[in-house]
């Protein structure tokens, strides 16, 4: 075993590159962490020494269009599985688990539904995720705060203009993203984002996300609003769903819907906490992901 503080890698596929970062135990159980929206490979995660002691090799990467990853224009949520497959081949992984936080949640679910990863993925976890836009019997915007409801209700042209402007501000002042979210934060969210370490990690992640372009943020938004390219009900591996009941960014109803749709899912709705508490529960989720999956 060897402690990896941070090892950058570049994975090439179909004429584009993905920026990948590895931390923790080089021989540990591989877990791919899907960052939020916006976000990047350098977003909040346990320190390398913590990951090492957990026996986790944590792999993060910039989704296409973010940070150092080239854009994949027109990508769907399901396309994330193709990227993960390329990363797994590059790193010669024989098994892995996937966790997605916020906007990374749908992309993590795509990995659980993909035939391409059927023999690789052991478990999936999603934290404060969204549900598909065509989810039956779900009031998709119900319980969503004003800012997110406006963004998720916008036309494609309006969404592109909105996110381009936000990315431009964040390029010179990543704190602007947190400042804009401030009126919508719950009490527990305030505590998380005002933590010196976590606040710095969030700002660093936002700065890297939009450093080269707004395309990652835009393409995430467009992908969420069209057909995801898979049915969550097709997922066969164990799935853990976590959500805070005070979350106004991704309403709890989305996780409840997914829990009824995915046969292998177990959901935990935590009382009294909001969206950003997902950062703090990540170590417990990583421990669950490293557990061996019982053989049927």
Q: How many angstroms separate the CA atoms of 89 and 166, rounded?
A: 35
Identify the pLDDT of residue 277: 96
Q: How many angstroms separate the CA atoms of 88 and 95, rounded?
A: 8
3-class state of residue 62 by DSSP: coil
Identify the band that residue 296 occupies on the pLDDT scale cut at 50, 70 and 90.
very low
pTM of the model: 0.96
For residues 30 and 4, the answer to whether their CB atoms sit within 8 Å is: no
Report the Cα 217 to chain-centroid distance in Å. Answer: 12
Question: Is the per-residue pLDDT at 215 higher than 90?
Answer: yes
Instruction: List the structure tokens of 260.
Output: 């009824």
Q: How many angstroms separate the CA atoms of 230 and 228, rounded?
A: 6
Give 258: exposed, middle or buried? Use CB within 10 Å, 0-12, 13-18, 19+.
buried
Identify the band that residue 5 occupies on the pLDDT scale cut at 50, 70 and 90.
confident
Q: What domains are defined for the chain?
A: 3-290 (3.40.50.1820)
Instruction: List the structure tokens of 189.
Output: 């969210």
Identify the band that residue 167 occupies on the pLDDT scale cut at 50, 70 and 90.
very high
pLDDT tens digits along 106-128: 999 999 999 999 999 999 999 99
């Amino acid at each position: 075993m060897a402690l990896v503080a941070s090892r950058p890698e570049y994975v090439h596929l179909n004429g584009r590159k993905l920026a990948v970062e590895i931390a923790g135990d080089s021989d540990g159980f591989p877990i791919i962490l899907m960052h939020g929206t916006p976000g990047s490979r350098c977003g909040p995660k346990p320190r390398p020494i913590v990951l090492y002691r957990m026996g986790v090799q944590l792999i993060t990467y910039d989704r296409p269009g973010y940070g150092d990853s080239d854009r994949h224009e027109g990508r769907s949520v399901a396309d994330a599985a193709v990227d993960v497959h390329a990363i797994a081949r590059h790193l010669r992984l024989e098994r892995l688990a996937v966790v997605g936080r916020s906007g990374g949640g749908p992309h993590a679910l795509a990995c659980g539904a993909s035939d391409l990863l059927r023999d690789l993925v052991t478990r999936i976890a999603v934290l404060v995720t969204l549900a598909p836009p065509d989810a039956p019997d779900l009031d998709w915007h119900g319980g969503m705060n004003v800012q997110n409801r406006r963004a998720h209700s916008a036309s494609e042209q309006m969404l592109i203009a909105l996110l381009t402007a936000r990315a431009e501000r964040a390029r010179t002042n990543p704190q602007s993203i947190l400042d804009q979210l401030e009126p919508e934060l719950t009490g527990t969210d305030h505590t998380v984002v005002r933590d010196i370490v976590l606040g710095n990690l969030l700002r660093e992640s936002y700065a890297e996300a939009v450093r080269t372009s707004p395309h990652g943020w835009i393409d995430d938004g467009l992908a969420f609003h069209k057909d995801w390219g898979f049915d969550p009900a097709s997922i066969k591996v164990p799935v853990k769903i976590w959500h805070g009941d005070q979350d106004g960014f991704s309403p709890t109803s989305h996780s409840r819907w997914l829990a009824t749709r995915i046969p292998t899912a177990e959901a935990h709705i935590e009382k009294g906490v909001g969206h950003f508490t997902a950062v703090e529960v990540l170590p417990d989720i990583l421990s669950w992901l490293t557990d061996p999956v019982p053989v049927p």
